[in-house]
Structure 1
């Protein structure tokens, strides 16, 4: 199987997680960010992730891919209950975290930006969506304090480092991608349970954190 992704994309991280958790082999293919033709040829529009299954058919949508792989062997892993408080925390943080993340993603050495054209494509699209990156970067100190405060609230919700609610669930698939993205932001303070959970989940899923290229 092949999984077509962007490395920065949290939806792609969701799809990648289930392969790591279940030790299912998959070939990762990073699309250039300005490559509209390849995904459109596969599924009729530009989006990622896209799974090319063993029968060569294509499956888009991150959670559809997660459920497909999780149930493929008849032994699903994501059997735990979800916690409404985790969903509420994610909705709150996602309401402002993109202003921290997107300008930094645009500067980072992701393979989807291997050409100047691919990076420029991303910048043009995202600045049209959220406004000039320079303005958001100027507000970073306040946003970093805000996310650090919110991570302290998350710390109280984490039950175990290997599963946020004590048993693997869709909450883990939704939470870890954001925590991984936040490692791209220098200066964020992580309480111990959040840090342990993030690091453990990175090992379980075999997905690298972004601390080494933090901005």
Structure 2
């Protein structure tokens, strides 16, 4: 099987996680940010992740990929209950994280931004939503404060460093990518339980963190 991704994409991280957590081999291919032809040839539109299954067919949509792999390769592992509180806190984080992360993604040395045209496309596609890169960076201090308050709330609800609700569930598939991408923000402090969860889930899933190159 092959998985086509962007390294920065939280939806792609969801798909990457299920392969790592279940120890299922998959070839990962990073698409350039401005590559339209490759995904359009596969599924008719530009998006990621895309799974090329063993039979050669293609499957988009992160949670569809997660469900397919979990239910068709070995015993399901995402058997825990979901928490409305986790879902609500994720929504709160998403009010702020985009403006913190977008200006930093292009400086992390990620494969999808290997060319200037890929960087330019990415920036131009995001400006309408977040404003200029410089404006976002200028807001970093206030955005970090807002995110820190939400992370402190998260720290109180994380049950285990191996599974946010105590048993692996779709909440982990949705939560870890959001927290993982925030590790690219230098100066953002993660409370102890959140940090332990990030480190443990990164090891278990095989998805890298950005602490060592945070900006």
> The TM-score by the shorter chain falls in which range?
over 0.9
Name the structure 2 match of 1:123: 123
Name which of structure 1's ranges 15-24 and 204-213 shifts more when overlaid on structure 2: 204-213
1:74 and 1:99 map into 2 onto residues whose CA distance is: 39
Distance 2:128 2:122 in 1: 10
Output one character per residue of 1:147-177: Cα deviation in whole Å (capped at 9) or x when no partner.
1121111000000100000000000000000
Gaps of 5+ in 2: none
In structure 1, the partner of 2:155 is 155
Deviations 1:8-27 (A, max 9, x none): 00000000000000000000
Residue 214 of structure 2 aligns with which residue? 214
Deviation at 1:190?
A: 1.0
| Cα displacement (A) at 1:73 | 2.7
TM-score (norm 2): 0.98
Q: C-alpha distance in 1, partners of 2:149/2:74?
A: 41
- Alignment-derived partner of residue 180 in structure 1: 180
Match of 2:197 in 1: 197
Residue 137 (structure 1) aligns with: 137
Report 1:70-89 matches (<5 A). 70-89=70-89
Taking the aligned partners of 2:102 and 2:200, their CA distance within structure 1 comes to: 25
Aligned equivalents of 2:3, 2:150: Cα separation in 1: 32
Hey, what's the Cα distance between the residues in 1 that align with 2:206 and 2:169? 17
**Distance in 2 (alpha carbons) for counterparts of 1:128 and 1:40:** 24
Aligned-residue offset at 1:127: 1.1
TM-score by length of 1: 0.98
Structure 1: unaligned runs, 5 residues or longer: none
Alignment correspondent of 1:39? 39
1:53 is displaced (CA, Å) by 0.3
Q: Distance in 2 between matches of 1:73 and 1:47?
A: 25
1:43-68 per-position Cα deviation (integer Å, ceiling 9, x unaligned): 00000000000000000000000000
CA RMSD of aligned residues (A): 0.8
Partner of 1:169: 169
Q: SS at the partner of 1:3?
A: strand
Query: Aligned ranges for residues 53-92 of structure 1 at < 5 Å?
Result: 53-92=53-92
Displacement over 2 Å in runs of 4+: none
What is the SS of the residue equivalent to 1:25?
coil
